[in-house]
Amino acid sequence: MKNIRRGRQVAVIAAAVALTTLAACSSGSTGSAPAGDTAGGTYQIWDPYPQFDDGSAWVKLLTKCGADAGVTVKRTGYDTSDLTSKALLAAQQNNSPDVLVVDNPVVSTLAEAGSLATTDDTRIDTSAMLPNLLGAGQSGGKTYGVPIGANTLALYYNKKVLDAAKVDPASIKDWASLTAALGRVKAAGRKGITFSAIGTEEGSFQFLPWYWGSGANLTQLDSAQAVAALQLWTGWLKDGYAPNSVLNNTQTTSWQEFATGDYAFAENGTWQLANAKKTGFAYGVLAIPAGTGATAPAPTGGEFVTVPVQSATGRYATSAKIVTCLTGSDNLLATDTTLSYVAPTDAVQQQQITANPELTVWVDAVKAAKGRTGDNLGTRYPKISEPLWGAVQAALSGSKSPQDALHAAQQTAAAAK
């Protein structure tokens, strides 16, 4: 079994690398995992938050959760891109940490490599977690961790620009009403919408709400619904509602365009809320509309708390206590406030809204969101996402029609299975 597991780990390293360039994830030091005691002692925790030092609320919580479980915690924070490869290598060497906090699309990669214990193995209760968020940590009918929180995308809007164009943001319910609003903004001499369509995972991340909002499925990139979604974006560029700069925009540079005060709308995430307050103009937030109305499913960002496979399975009970402490209602509110996440449970989401009503739109967006590796895609997702962002680039640049671009993407994705 060990040799089979090791072969799988090597085979998925490429997929792991592809998934670490993600939209909206936190970004180290080194540490070695423990080797065997099943009670007491030191438990290793690796996370993707090197920006938090030992005096931070996050590290204090880790320390407390370890103490409550009767152990000492040794925590190491890595950059997100480093964490996945280090976790895979540690698993190969039977030297994994006891608890691993990892970006949600990578869970399926580690699970397929045989690196993660299931929640059946660890007896961690996930019943309070919202199913659409928990889905990002599921593969092959098994659950491999617990979401610690989520972020996603919505539409920020500039109230002054919309007022000048006589657009009521409450009137925007679907693609038609949004496009009509963009037309009125342009007619008023202002700029319409900015987003990121760069040829990386960020581009796919930003396109997915429109793609899924059309009713399209990632298993068929050239469906009529998918073509309609890409035609929406290409139409906006053609009509001057969106700038050509979207082809090279990251989510950061897209936000910088919106922050000038010239644009009516920007597609961006919860992580920009603090920056929104610094813009100096009145703003609001709308859920991204689906094609014919309601809220479009946007992709989820955020991390899962997982338990790597251990040869000393007696350690799982203590690891489970630490995971339950980190993701339980008593601590989630403070944790998700620190990480700028929406909580993964109804109860804590309501606490967040009570404390900050501005989060209502984001909670609604998260409830409609879905994991990129969901629909049982798992490690197939990177093989789909790359041709998808390539198709978006080809269509927006005018080198191919939306239909031809997506047809080529579908052929590429199918060949990569």
Residue that has been written with the tokens 């909580």 in this structure: 343
**pTM > 0.75:** yes
Confidence check: pLDDT of 47 > 50:
yes
- Assess contact for 323 and 47: CB atoms under 8 A: no
Higher pLDDT, 278 or 22: 278
CATH for 222 = 3.40.190.10
**Alpha-carbon gap, residue 15 to 46, rounded angstroms:** 20
244 and 383, same domain (yes or no): yes
Q: Where does the pLDDT of residue 39 fall: very low under 50, low under 70, confident under 90, or very high at 90 and above?
A: low
396 and 255, same domain (yes or no): yes
Please give the tally of structural domains in the chain.
2
Query: Which two three-digit tokens encode residue 328?
Result: 């339980």
**Alpha-carbon gap, residue 323 to 330, rounded angstroms:** 13
Which pLDDT does position 188 carry in this prediction? 98
* Secondary structure (3-state) at 161: helix
264 and 397, same domain (yes or no): yes
180 and 107, same domain (yes or no): no
Q: Tell me the residue ranges of DSSP E strands in 227-321.
A: 263-269, 283-286, 303-306
Which pLDDT does position 29 carry in this prediction? 34
User: Which of 15-29, 109-123, 139-153, 294-308 shows the lowest per-residue confidence on average (mean pLDDT)?
Assistant: 15-29
Instruction: Identify which of 311, 341, 163 has the alpha carbon closest to the alpha carbon of residue 333.
Output: 341
237 and 314, same domain (yes or no): no
Q: Tell me the residue ranges of DSSP E strands in 94-231.
A: 99-103, 138-139, 142-143, 146-147, 153-158, 191-194
Confidence check: pLDDT of 23 > 50:
no
Pairing of strands 283-286, 72-77: unpaired
294 and 325, same domain (yes or no): no
Q: Which residues pair with 42 in a beta bridge?
A: 72
List, for residues 220-250, the tens digit of each pLDDT value. 999 999 999 999 999 999 999 999 999 999 9
Which pLDDT does position 2 carry in this prediction? 30
Among the candidates 351, 368, 385, a domain finishes at: 368
Mean of pLDDT over the chain = 90
Confidence check: pLDDT of 159 > 80:
yes
**Alpha-carbon gap, residue 349 to 124, rounded angstroms:** 21
Q: Which domain holds residue 245?
A: 153-298+377-415
Which pLDDT does position 378 carry in this prediction? 87
Highest averaged pLDDT of the listed ranges 51-55, 168-172, 273-277, 369-373:
168-172
Which pLDDT does position 398 carry in this prediction? 97
Confidence check: pLDDT of 12 > 70:
no
- How many other β-carbons are positioned within 10 Å of the β-carbon of residue 262? 14
List, for residues 97-128, the tens digit of each pLDDT value. 999 999 998 999 999 999 999 999 999 999 99
179 and 144, same domain (yes or no): no
Pairing of strands 153-158, 263-269: antiparallel
What strand order describes the sheet that includes 72-77? 72-77, 42-47, 99-103, 303-306, 146-147
Angstrom distances, CA of residue 20 to CA of 17, 26, 40, 69, 299: 5, 11, 34, 31, 15
Confidence check: pLDDT of 201 > 80:
yes
137 and 171, same domain (yes or no): no
136 and 239, same domain (yes or no): no
Which pLDDT does position 80 carry in this prediction? 83
